[in-house]
Amino acid sequence: MDPVFRVWTPAPPRAGADASIPLPTTERKARSPMAVTSVATKPFSDQKPGTSGLRKKVTVFQQPHYLENFVQSIFDSLEGFQGKTLVVGGDGRYHNRTAIVTILRMAAANGFGRVLVGRGGILSTPAASAVIRKYEAFGGIVLSASHNPGGPDGDFGIKYNIMNGGPAPEKVTDAIFANSRKITSYRILDAVPGSLDTLGESRLGGMTVAVIDPVADYAELMGNLFDFAAIRKLFASGFTMRFDAMHAVTGPYATEILERQLGAPAGTVMNGIVKEDFGGGHPDPNLTYAEELVEIMMHRGEADFGAASDGDGDRNMVLGRRFFITPSDSLAILADNAALVPGYRGGVVGVARSMPTSAAVDRVAKAKGFGCYETPTGWKFFGNLLDAGKATLCGEESFGTGSNHVREKDGLWAVLFWLNILAVRQESVEAIAKAHWRSYGRTFYSRHDYEEVESNAANGLMDAVKAGFTTLPGQIFEGREVVMADDFAYTDPVDGSESRNQGIRIGFRDGSRIVLRLSGTGTKGATLRVYLERYEPDASRHGLDAQEALADLIRIADQIAGIRQRTGRERPTVIT
């Protein structure tokens, strides 16, 4: 049974803040003697990791042996980790602590020599990557369902990150799944760790458990990348900002860095206390779910800059005063202005974007003469490019941006990057975006999500579109001629590995395109994502509303895919 609903506050706690959270009552006392137990089990059929690990409802993970089977399958897929260091932490959602206790017991039983765990069980996904890299750990286990809702009836997730700090590649996740289908037992220590709320080291069997400050290493890294002095001066000048942590893991990080280190006024960070159910909200930083921030920035225009991050801290949304920056434009603007930021003054060697992300950054790369790579969706595909020195900045249209400083996307990093640019250029978010469009043209872009679509209907829609690949080219829809239709396949330029069936692409003669994908991040039904993109070089037309500019492509997508007919939905669940 999980502990009752609780809140976590980072170290050092302010006066009156009690950060202590006891272990579940059933786990408080170690059984004796301290020994490794082999527990008989049977495989579960549904433990295939998706693009971001294994995500299921909390109630699924609470089944006897379910978590244990998957963790043992991870360990059985690895070699040479005995005596090495493992990093463990999560986003603080419901079931996080219970899972961490189990993982520590199993890590000790399987022969790890040391585990670094964030105090209170907290580590944002980018912070976990940073810790793995800084301490040269063998790997890490990250507990999160990212932007999915939390709480007893919400979602939970687990993934393995390799020693470069990034998500395990497909060859590792395939091995994990194969092991999960044949597992007959798992190993667990007949003891439990000490308090997760006290910094310091303790022993668990033959393994050392080091409880670390979850924010310190990450904050140090950010201070090395960005001009904190310039950003402090920006805030001192009266610049205003609101950051919505959505009661998710970024709250402690944003409070420490923005308010304590950079001098932003108290209250700049909204919803900054980590809650196991994210305060009952949906921790997805977009125009639909970050409605409080949207009201402040877009409707009332009460601050110069607004930003939000998601459940595990790896996504970001950026807003100016009554002005929204699409993630695709954000990546392009960061790449164009990288020389203004200390950590990137050495130059951008290349950029990488996921296939559904708009081509806005491609134009920057062409103009500035650095490489540009198009990959499948999933941050793990950027890892090889980053490790090989082929890319410096990476981004996905799903509000994910990052660089070679870690091997995960990083929400707060993107916000600090924007703050650094704003501090140097002394212009508004809107002015910077419009100047960028004048230089490169505007890419009108939007994503329409149809969430929790019945799986058979969603798969039937995709199959029907694929069946028309040979006949679509040459057809004209509302004056637009289709010139290509395919299912995106990717060959990794570093290791030659191939990934197929990565999303349907429909391209038109003028360069516009429609992309359709089924998301792998949900836990109920299927999420159909429809991406719409049109390039506009004429500056006199840059002021059009994105949905207006894309209206014909929206209709064409429905004509080709039969979205309303097959899903029964008259409109998307979320538009970004």
Residues 248-284 pLDDT 10s: 999 999 999 999 999 999 999 999 999 999 999 999 9
Q: What is the DSSP string of 102-128?
A: HHHHHHHHHT-SEEEEEEEEE--HHHH
Tens of pLDDT, residue by residue over 138-178, are 999 999 999 999 999 999 999 999 999 999 988 999 999 99
d(CA 20, CA 6): 10
Confidence of residue 198 (pLDDT cuts 50, 70, 90): very high
Residue closest to 314 by CA, chosen among 406, 180, 422: 406
CB 102 within 8 A of CB 68: yes
Q: Which residue from 65, 328, 24, 70 is spatially nearest to 195, judged by alpha carbons? A: 24
Tell me the pairing of strands 323-325 and 393-396: unpaired
Percent of the chain scoring above 70 in pLDDT? 93
CB of 289 closer than 8 Å to CB of 313: no
Give the model's pLDDT for residue 523: 57
Confidence of residue 22 (pLDDT cuts 50, 70, 90): very low
Widest CA span in the chain? 77
**Best CA proximity match to 263, nearest among 230, 301, 291, 305:** 230
Task: Examine the pLDDT at 129 and tell me if it is beyond 70.
Answer: yes
* Overall CATH class of domain 218-440: alpha beta
pLDDT at 6 over 70: no
What mean pLDDT comes out for the span 181-189? 98
Report the candidate in 421, 396, 410 with the shortest Cα–Cα distance to residue 218.
410
Predicted confidence band of residue 51 (pLDDT cuts 50, 70, 90): confident
Q: Where are the domains of the chain?
A: 7-11+21-214, 218-440, 442-575
Instruction: Work out the angle at residue 164's Cα, subtended by the Cα atoms of residues 158 and 166, and round it to the nearest 5 degrees.
Output: 35
Q: Are 165 and 133 in contact (CB under 8 A)?
A: yes
> Please, are residues 574 and 286 in contact by the beta-carbon 8 Å criterion?
yes
Q: Of 24-28, 34-38, 235-239, 470-474, which range is least confident?
A: 24-28
User: Which residue matches tokens 């209170």?
Assistant: 120
pLDDT of residue 380: 86
Pick the CATH number of 442-575 from 1.10.760.10, 3.30.70.360, 3.30.310.50, 1.10.10.10: 3.30.310.50
Residue 149: partners with Cβ closer than 8 Å, 6 or more residues away: 155, 277, 278, 281, 282, 283
Cβ neighbors of 25 (< 8 A, separation 6 or more) are: none
Supply the pLDDT for residue 26: 33
Q: Could you check whether 7-11+21-214 and 218-440 share the same CATH topology?
A: yes
Per the structure block, which two tokens stand in for 556?
């064409």
Task: Reply yes or no on whether the pLDDT at 21 is more than 60.
Answer: no
| pLDDT, mean over the chain | 93
Q: What is the mean pLDDT of residues 336-343?
A: 98
Interval 99-103 mean pLDDT: 98
Residue linked to tokens 């305060």: 279
**Any idea what the Cα angle at residue 511 is, between residues 575 and 287, rounded to 5°?**
15
Residues noted as catalytic: 146
18 pLDDT more than 50: no
Band of the pLDDT at 520, cuts 50, 70, 90?
Answer: low
pTM, full prediction:
0.90
Report the alpha-carbon distance of residue 189 to residue 35 in Å, rounded. Answer: 6
Main-chain dihedrals φ then ψ at residue 554, nearest 5 degrees: -60, -45
Q: What are phi and psi of 475, to 5 degrees?
A: -75, 150
What's the rounded Cα separation, in Å, for the pair 138 and 78?
10
- From CA 294, how far away is CA 307, in angstroms rounded? 10
- In CATH, the number for domain 7-11+21-214 is 3.40.120.10
Predicted confidence (pLDDT) per residue in 384-417, tens digit = 999 999 999 999 998 999 999 999 999 999 999 9
Instruction: Give the whole-angstrom CA distance, residue 112 versus residue 119.
Output: 19
